[in-house]
Structure 1
Amino acid sequence: MSIQILFLCGLNELGNLIVEVSCLPLPGNLIGMLLLFLLLMMGAVPLHWVKEGSSILLKHLSLFFIPIAVGLMNYGHLFLHQGWIFLLLILISLWIGIYTTGGISQFLIHKKEHKQEEYLQRGERRYG
């Protein structure tokens, strides 16, 4: 399990290095997650190599937000004066996320139903 967590941390650091060297306008941890995704999709890294370590990290994910929350306390005056803007931005991004997820889900459901109908129609033509 420790080796799995070290591997995931190494991918994170590799993502940070790629961002630093290439000056990409993306967070390094996002590049690290994309690298992990690509490695898993290509089969270069089997899922069982990272499953247990990633499960432990996800289980304790809330602990990673404590430093961020403590850091936000330094900006209390900003939240008092412009908190409504933050709330508005959060609501807009929430709506965009829900709308996009729902749209993609509906698209995939319709695509699956269409494939099932085609499959059934082909079967009926053969045997009907």
Structure 2
Amino acid sequence: MKILNQLALMLGIWAVGEYISSFIQSIVVIPGSIIGMILLFILLQSKIIRLDAIKEISDFFLQNMAIFFIPAGVSLITSLNIIMDNIVVLIVSVILSTAIVMYITGVVVQKMINRKERVN
């Protein structure tokens, strides 16, 4: 019963995120699941929800995360012709975005290291 209560809590937060997303869609498009994760983060950080209240169900989701990638993989297989038509654009996008993420990560880490050295 405890896991069902935890699942109901998580689904409730997701539903609130979807509800908020439907209202702000005319201003900015943010998926309801993202808003739900932000809400969950805020609720956990403000200690409105204790980590114990969702520990078992979140551990279950983390341990079985691969299951959630199956629909995306199937979708990729069914869209293989679209992917092949745009393979050059996709490869360039992946290479550029990876390089940009690596560069920004390096800059941020270097700044954090320098800040830590100044503090010590």
Could you say which TM-score interval applies, normalised by the shorter chain?
A: 0.7 to 0.9
Q: 2:91 aligns with which of 62, 87, 90?
A: 87
Provide the residue aligned with 1:74 in structure 2: 78
**How do residues 55-70 of structure 1 correspond to structure 2 at under 5 angstroms?**
55-70=59-74
- Distance in 2 (CA, whole Å) between partners of 1:19 and 1:42 is 22
Tell me the CA shift for residue 84 of structure 1.
1.9
Tell me the CA shift for residue 28 of structure 1.
1.2
Provide the residue aligned with 2:49 in structure 1: 45
Q: 2:10 aligns with which of 8, 33, 40?
A: 8
| Structure 1 residues 103 and 40: alpha-carbon distance in aligned structure 2, compared to 1, 3 A threshold | farther
Structure 2 alignment gaps of length 5 or more: none
Runs (4+) off by over 4 Å: none
Provide the residue aligned with 1:30 in structure 2: 34
Percent identity, aligned pairs only, is: 29
Number of aligned residues: 116
When normalised by structure 2's length, the TM-score is 0.82
SS of corresponding position for 2:14:
helix
Tell me the CA shift for residue 11 of structure 1.
1.4
When normalised by structure 1's length, the TM-score is 0.78
Tell me the CA shift for residue 37 of structure 1.
1.1
Q: Which has the larger radius of gyration?
A: 1
Tell me the CA shift for residue 107 of structure 1.
2.1
Q: What CA RMSD, in Å, does the superposition of the two structures yield over aligned residues?
A: 1.8
Higher helix share: 1
SS of corresponding position for 2:30:
coil
- Distance in 1 (CA, whole Å) between partners of 2:101 and 2:31 is 19
Tell me the CA shift for residue 47 of structure 1.
2.0
Q: 2:103 aligns with which of 85, 99, 106?
A: 99
Tell me the CA shift for residue 45 of structure 1.
1.5
| Structure 1 residues 107 and 30: alpha-carbon distance in aligned structure 2, compared to 1, 3 A threshold | same
User: Counterpart of 2:6 in structure 1: which amino acid?
Assistant: Q
